Amino acid sequence: MKIFICVKRFYTSSNLWFDLKAGLLICLLVIMVVLPCGGVAAKAIRDESKPQTGAADTPALKGRYQSFFPVGNVISPRDLGGPRFEMLQKHFAVLTAENAMKPLYIQGNPGVFTFETADKLVDAVLKAGMKMHGHTLTWHQQSPEWINKEGMGRDEAIENLTTHAKTVAAHFRGRVVSWDVLNEAIIDNPPNPEDWRASLRQSPWYKTIGPEYIEIVFKAAREADPDAKLYYNDYNMDNRNKALAVFNMVKEINEQNPNAGGRPLIDGIGIQGHYRTKTNPENVANTLERFISLGVEVSITELDVQSGYNSTLSEAQLLEQGIAYARLFALFKKYAAVLGRVTMWGLDDGTSWLTQTSPALFDRNLQPKPAFWGALDPASFLAENEGRLADFKNEPLQAQAHYGAPALDIADPLWQSAPPIRINQYIMAWQGAQGSARVLWDEQHLYALITVTNAELNKANRSPHEQDSVEIFLDEGNHKSSYMQDDDGQYRVNFDNERSFNPSPIAAGFESRVFVSDKSYTVVVKIPFRTIEPKEDTLIGFDLQINGASAQGIRQSIAVWNDITGSAWQDPSCYGLLKLVK
C-alpha cells in the first residue's frame, strides 16, 4: 500500500523534472520489491557467466519428490567432502558410482580386485543417510581387454563373466540396494525387434558366449546378492524398436526364470534418459507404458538434457532446457507409482560427462539453472514459461559453401577459403570420433573435406553404419519433407574409402578419396548435383554425421553437425542449411 501511495503522488506531479525522477524511482521500486517475489519465472533465466549466490537456499529436490520417488545422482571421488557432497546430500536420496564400480576399475588385471575407491564412496554415501546403486557388472565398454579378448574359449569367457559378477556383487552385498547387472546389450533401432537375439549388440560377450550370456550373468548376480534388485540398463529407449527388443528380451528371460530366488530373474529396467531438448515426452511415456506392462520396476537411471554447444547456453537454450526438464518431471510424477527412482547423471555442467552441451540442473558455479526450477516444480514452471518459447525462433544451423572446384586432395589450398563446420554434437551415450568439414561448390558439383579425429579405424562390423565412417545428407531442393524424395540423398564413406548410398542410384558420378593418419582420417568427396542448377545464394538442405566404432567393431558414438534427432537417414526436415556463396 505504501508503494501505491508514493507512486500515485509522484505521477500526479506537474513538474517534468520531478516526473522524471519519479519514473526512475518507480523502476527502482519494481526491481527492489516485485522481482524478488517473482517465483519461478523470475528465477528462470540468469547470467551463468558470473558466480551467483543463494544455491544453499534452494529447496531440496529430494524433499519435493519424497512422496513420489527417490531422486538420485552420480558420485565420484572428487565429490567427497566439501560443498559438492553437501549438495548431493541435500538434493538426492540415492547415489550411483559414476565410474568406480565399472569392470575396468574394479578388476583391471585378472583376479586382482581393487575395491578401495568404490568402498570409500559407498561408506560416505551410507554414512550420510543416502542409498547406493551399483553400476555396472557387465558392459562392453570400460572393461579390461583381458576379460573377454578375441580368441578366448567359451568356457573361459563364462568363468570370467561369472567370477567378476559374483565377486563384486558379494563384496557390496547389503550395502547397495540395486545393480545395473548388464548395460547396453541391444543395438540402436533394431530392424526386427520381435527377434531380440538378432537385436543384440555384437559385443565380445555375445561373440564368445552367445545370447545366453545375459541369463548367465543375471543368475550369477542373484546368487551373490539375493536381496539387491537386478536391472537391465540401456539408452535411446524412446526409440520404439529398441524398447520393443528390450521388452521381448526381459519378458522371455523372466518367463523362463519365474522363481530365481523367489522372484523373476530381472527385477527392473533402467531407462538411461540421455535426452535433448527436442526429445518428445510422449515417446518416453510409450516406453514407460510398455515396460510397466511386464510387471517389473522401471527407473530413469542416467537423466540429463543436452542444450547448446561449446559449453555455452543462450537465453533461449536455457529456457528450452528448463521446459524440457519440467515436461519430463511432470511425466515422471504421473508414473510415480511404478518408478523405482529418477537419477540424474551429473551434479553440474562443469563436471558432466557431456560438459560441452551443459546438460545438468546446476551450472559450473553450482548454481541452480532454469532446469532445476523446471524439475523442482514442473506445473508452475510450465505455466509461467512455456508460452515464452514462441519468442525464440528455432532455426536450424546454417553454414556456407564457398565457390571453387578443388582437387580431391587435402593439400589443395582452395579448401582453406571455406569456413570450418564443426561436427561435435553427440547423439549417443558415448563420446567418440568427431571432426570438422569444409565445403565448396561449382555449377556441377558439391565438394566436401571432412576431417575425423579420435577414431578407432575399425570396420569389422558387416553393417556400414557401424564402421568408422562419415555421412553427408543432401536435400538439394531444400523441401524439408519428412520423408526421402528424389532430390534427397545419404552418402557414406568409411576410413578405407568404402562407400554406401541411400538410395543406391545416387552413387552415379560420386568420387571420394581418404587420407589416414594414426587415429584420424580425412575424407574428400565430389558429389554431382542431380536435380538443381546451383547458383549464388542458393540454400540446400545439408547435414553431416560421423560414426565412431569401438575397438570391438561396434558403433559407440554418433557426432552430428545439426540433426540431433538421429533421423537424418529418413527425414530431410531435420537437416541444417548450406548457403552457396561466391
Q: Write out the catalytic residue numbers.
A: 184, 234, 302
How crowded is residue 122: how many other Cβ atoms within 10 Å of its Cβ?
Answer: 22
How crowded is residue 24: how many other Cβ atoms within 10 Å of its Cβ?
Answer: 11
Please, what is the Cα angle at 455 between 449 and 460, to 5 degrees?
110
Q: How far apart are CA 225 and CA 173, in angstroms?
A: 6
Q: How far apart are CA 121 and CA 134, in angstroms?
A: 11
Let me know: does 291 contact 243? Beta carbons within 8 Å: yes
The DSSP output letter for 32 is I
3-state secondary structure of 478: coil
Q: How far apart are CA 526 and CA 446, in angstroms?
A: 6
* DSSP codes, 90-142: HH-SEEEESSTTSHHHH-SBTTB---HHHHHHHHHHHHTT-EEEEEEEE-SSS
Question: Which position has the grid cell 517473482?
Answer: 38
Helix (H) or strand (E) holding 363: none
Q: How far apart are CA 320 and CA 324, in angstroms?
A: 6
Q: How far apart are CA 417 and CA 420, in angstroms?
A: 9
Per the DSSP assignment, residues forming a β-bridge with 507 are none
Torsion-angle region of 310 (φ positive above 0: left; ψ -120 to 50: alpha; else: beta): left
Let me know: does 275 contact 324? Beta carbons within 8 Å: yes
Question: Which position has the grid cell 516485485?
Answer: 34
Q: How far apart are CA 398 and CA 423, in angstroms?
A: 13
Q: How far apart are CA 332 and CA 379, in angstroms?
A: 12
* Helical H segments across 264-400, by residue range: 281-292, 315-334, 370-376, 378-385
Closest CA to 131 of 67, 77, 59, 75: 75
Q: Are strands 229-234 and 274-276 parallel, antiparallel or unpaired?
A: unpaired
Torsion-angle region of 346 (φ positive above 0: left; ψ -120 to 50: alpha; else: beta): left
Q: How far apart are CA 322 and CA 528, in angstroms?
A: 43
Q: How far apart are CA 216 and CA 158, in angstroms?
A: 8
Q: Are strands 297-306 and 339-344 parallel, antiparallel or unpaired?
A: parallel
Q: How far apart are CA 77 and CA 84, in angstroms?
A: 11
Q: Which three cell numbers stand for residue 263?
A: 522372484
Torsion-angle region of 39 (φ positive above 0: left; ψ -120 to 50: alpha; else: beta): left
